[in-house]
Amino acid sequence: MDVAKLSSYPFLTQAAAHVAQMDSSIDDIITSKAYGMPRSRASSRVIQSILGAIEKDDTKPDVAELLSYPIARILVSCIDDAFLTRRYALAEAKFANTRMQKENDYGTLQEIGADFNINASISDKGFQIHFTDYIRGAAGMRALNWKLVNRRLKSGFVNITKEEYARLLQEGIRVRIFNSLPLAVPENFCHALEEYIVEIKTCLEHSKKELGEEGFGEMEPGSFPPCIKHLLASAQGGVNLAHSARFALTSFLLNIELSVEQIIQLFGVSPDFNEEMTRYQVEHIAGGTGTSYKPPSCSTMITYGNCMGKDVLCREIGHPLNYYRKKKQMVASETESIAVGEQSASSNEQSVPSKEPSSSNK
pLDDT digits (tens, 9 = 90+) for 181-195: 999 999 999 999 999
29 within some domain: yes
Q: What is the pLDDT of residue 44?
A: 97
Sheet holding 153-154, edge to edge: 121-123, 126-130, 157-161, 153-154
Q: What is the pLDDT of residue 124?
A: 84
Q: Does 176 lie in the same domain as 239?
A: no
- Asked whether the CA dihedral 116, 120, 122, 128 is positive or negative, the reply is negative
Q: Does 120 lie in the same domain as 156?
A: yes
- What is the tally of structural domains in the chain? 3
Q: Does 53 lie in the same domain as 17?
A: yes
Over residues 154-212, the pLDDT tens digits come to 999 999 999 999 999 999 999 999 999 999 999 999 999 999 999 999 999 988 776 65
Q: What is the pLDDT of residue 255?
A: 93
Residue 255 buriedness (CB in 10 A; 0-12 / 13-18 / 19+): middle
8 within some domain: yes
Q: Does 188 lie in the same domain as 237?
A: no
Q: What is the pLDDT of residue 351?
A: 53
Q: Does 189 lie in the same domain as 63?
A: yes
217 within some domain: yes
- In the listed set 286, 301, 316, which residue is the last one of a domain according to the structure? 316
pLDDT beneath 70, residues of the chain? 210-218, 337-362
Q: What is the pLDDT of residue 295?
A: 94
Percent of the chain past pLDDT 90, that is, above it, reads 65
Q: What is the pLDDT of residue 65?
A: 96
- Single-letter code of the amino acid located at 96: A
Structural domain span for residue 189: 1-80+182-202
Q: What is the pLDDT of residue 196?
A: 98
Cα(235)–Cα(250) distance, rounded to whole angstroms?
11
Strands (E), the chain: 121-123, 126-130, 153-154, 157-161
Q: Does 55 lie in the same domain as 41?
A: yes
How many other β-carbons are positioned within 10 Å of the β-carbon of residue 274?
12
The pTM assigned to this predicted structure is 0.71
Q: What is the pLDDT of residue 348?
A: 56
Q: Does 215 lie in the same domain as 196?
A: no
Q: Does 17 lie in the same domain as 111?
A: no
Q: Does 312 lie in the same domain as 219?
A: yes
Q: Does 198 lie in the same domain as 50?
A: yes
349 within some domain: no
325 within some domain: no
Cβ(113)–Cβ(96) under 8 Å? no
DSSP string, 99-112: HHHT---HHHHHHH
**Nearest 5°: phi and psi at 153?**
-110, 130
Q: What is the pLDDT of residue 116?
A: 96
Q: Does 59 lie in the same domain as 197?
A: yes
Cα(116)–Cα(136) distance, rounded to whole angstroms?
11
Nearest to 241 by CA among 122, 120, 143: 143
252 within some domain: yes
Q: What is the pLDDT of residue 362?
A: 39
Distances (CA, A) of 242 to 145, 231, 235: 15, 10, 11
111 within some domain: yes
54 within some domain: yes
Q: What is the pLDDT of residue 230?
A: 92
Q: Does 130 lie in the same domain as 221?
A: no
Cβ(72)–Cβ(42) under 8 Å? yes
Burial of 143-168, coded b for 16+ CB within 10 Å and e otherwise, reads: eeebeeeebeeeeebbbbebebbbbb
Q: What is the pLDDT of residue 67?
A: 97
